[in-house]
């Protein structure tokens, strides 16, 4: 099982892991009577496994909106929770591709190695979210024969985004799984890499606060921190 990531001194953003104090778990689960008795959820809380930051609903004006995706064996439920800010122990980034590699199926690993080489060539950091990330974090069975590989490319101001997605598309052509994921810029906003590769003039840009259509050039300017 992958060790917890290091503490990050910043507000929780999209895909970030949020670790909740034991007393915070009790407070989160109390409004959900059924969850408070769920053996897997209780086991999760006892082991101090993380939740994931999600976008808040309009009715969730206070606290921190969190999600807990259960494995396929538990019906792939996506639990929505709300934590008091004082109950947050720490925040961390999702696992890196290298951290998660040991938890991947053997037939995925040649593709992971190619993506790692791609990241080195383009000087970007690659993290994983979705099924592979949760399997690495918990040791539970999340990855199935039909799972996608969800990638988060943390780009740099000098990253050639067009070349990056072109090279990623070439890797996917030989991959045994679908490559999903996002390009995240310096401002924390992100777009689906496949949509960017398609060359659309407007892109669906996601942040922890909103989802907006943005001109392609404006997204690129934000990704470069300009």
Is 162 one of the catalytic residues?
no
Q: What's CA 210's distance to the chain center, in Å?
A: 16
Q: State both tokens at 130.
A: 């979705």
Q: What is the secondary structure of 109-130 as a DSSP string?
A: HHHHHHHHHHHHHHT-EEEEEH
Query: For tokens 């999209």, what's the residue?
Result: 14
Q: Exposed e or buried b for every residue in 159-172, given b needs 16+ CB within 10 A?
A: bebeebbebbeebb
Residue with structure tokens 């979705």?
A: 130
**Of the residues 148, 167, 180, 187, which is catalytic?**
148
Query: Which DSSP string do the residues of 48-93 spell out, in sequence order?
Result: T--EEE-PPPTT--SSEEEEEEPPGGGTT-EEEEEE-GGGEEEEEP
For the annotated catalytic residues, the residue numbers are 148, 150
């Amino acid at each position: 099982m992958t060790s917890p990531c290091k503490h990050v001194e910043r507000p929780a953003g999209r895909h970030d892991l949020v670790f909740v104090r034991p007393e915070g778990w009790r407070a989160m689960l109390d409004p959900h009577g059924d969850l408070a008795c769920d053996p897997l959820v209780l086991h999760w809380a006892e082991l101090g496994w993380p939740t994931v930051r999600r976008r808040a609903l309009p009715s969730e004006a206070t606290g921190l909106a969190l999600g807990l995706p259960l494995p396929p064996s538990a019906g792939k439920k996506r639990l929505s929770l709300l934590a008091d800010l004082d109950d947050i122990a720490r925040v961390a980034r999702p696992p890196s591709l290298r951290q998660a590699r040991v938890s991947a199926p053997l037939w995925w690993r040649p593709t992971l190695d190619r993506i790692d080489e791609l990241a080195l060539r383009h000087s970007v950091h690659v993290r994983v979210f979705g099924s592979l990330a949760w399997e690495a974090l918990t040791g539970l069975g999340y990855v199935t024969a039909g799972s996608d590989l969800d990638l988060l490319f943390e780009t740099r101001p000098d990253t050639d985004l067009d070349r990056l997605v072109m090279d990623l598309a070439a890797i996917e052509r030989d991959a045994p799984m679908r490559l999903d994921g996002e390009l995240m810029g310096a401002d924390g906003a992100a777009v689906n890499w496949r949509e960017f590769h398609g060359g659309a003039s407007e892109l669906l840009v996601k942040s922890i606060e909103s989802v907006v259509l943005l001109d392609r050039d404006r997204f690129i300017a934000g990704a470069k921190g300009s």
